[in-house]
């Protein structure tokens, strides 16, 4: 998988369309969750895009400390249903964590869907606090300290 890192202003229209389409396909349609994905925060984020050929297959967005949480944050972690079971989720997260480390962010906080606990724990994240509902899906906060 080829990974590209861009600010919002560096994204082409086709890249923006592809990432919004992928997020909608998974978070809205597949997970049957009606929520406002286009939340006005993409403009502050760094976008990590994973491609197989010309197809966007994995994606995350990263916020510097203070732009979303007090710590830096990784969110909208998604892999296309057609490209799962290839470790692309792990690969895009490793690249996202490496970006945060390279920026000398001291920690990363995520709002993780509870069914992905093992996935994030294997990447070094630790659950903190109580489970909560976000858009009707059980989540909890997780932190990775460097």
**Share above pLDDT 90 across residues of the chain, in percent, rounded to a whole number:** 88
- Domains defined for the chain, CATH in brackets: 2-105 (3.40.630.30)
Of the pLDDT bands very low, low, confident and very high (cuts 50, 70, 90), residue 134 is confident
76 sits in the region (left: phi over 0; alpha: psi -120 to 50; else beta) called left
pLDDT tens, residue by residue, 9-50: 999 999 999 999 999 999 888 887 777 788 999 999 999 999
Nearest to 92 by CA among 110, 108, 75, 104: 75
Report the predicted TM-score, pTM, of the whole model to 2 decimal places.
0.94
145 three-class SS: strand
pLDDT tens, residue by residue, 72-119: 999 999 999 999 999 999 999 999 999 999 999 999 999 999 999 999
């Amino acid at each position: 998988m080829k990974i590209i890192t861009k600010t919002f202003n560096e994204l082409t229209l086709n890249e923006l369309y592809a990432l919004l389409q992928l997020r909608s396909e998974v978070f809205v349609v597949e997970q049957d969750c009606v929520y406002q994905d286009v939340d006005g925060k993409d403009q502050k984020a760094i976008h990590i895009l994973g491609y197989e050929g010309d197809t966007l297959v994995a994606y995350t967005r990263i916020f510097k400390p203070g732009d979303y949480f007090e710590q830096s944050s990784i969110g909208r972690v998604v892999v296309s249903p057609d490209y799962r079971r290839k470790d692309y989720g792990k690969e895009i997260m490793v690249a996202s964590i490496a970006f945060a480390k390279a920026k000398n962010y001291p920690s990363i906080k995520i709002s993780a869907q509870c069914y992905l606990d093992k996935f994030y724990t294997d990447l070094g994240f630790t659950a903190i606090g109580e489970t909560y509902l976000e858009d009707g899906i059980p989540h909890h906060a997780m932190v990775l300290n460097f």
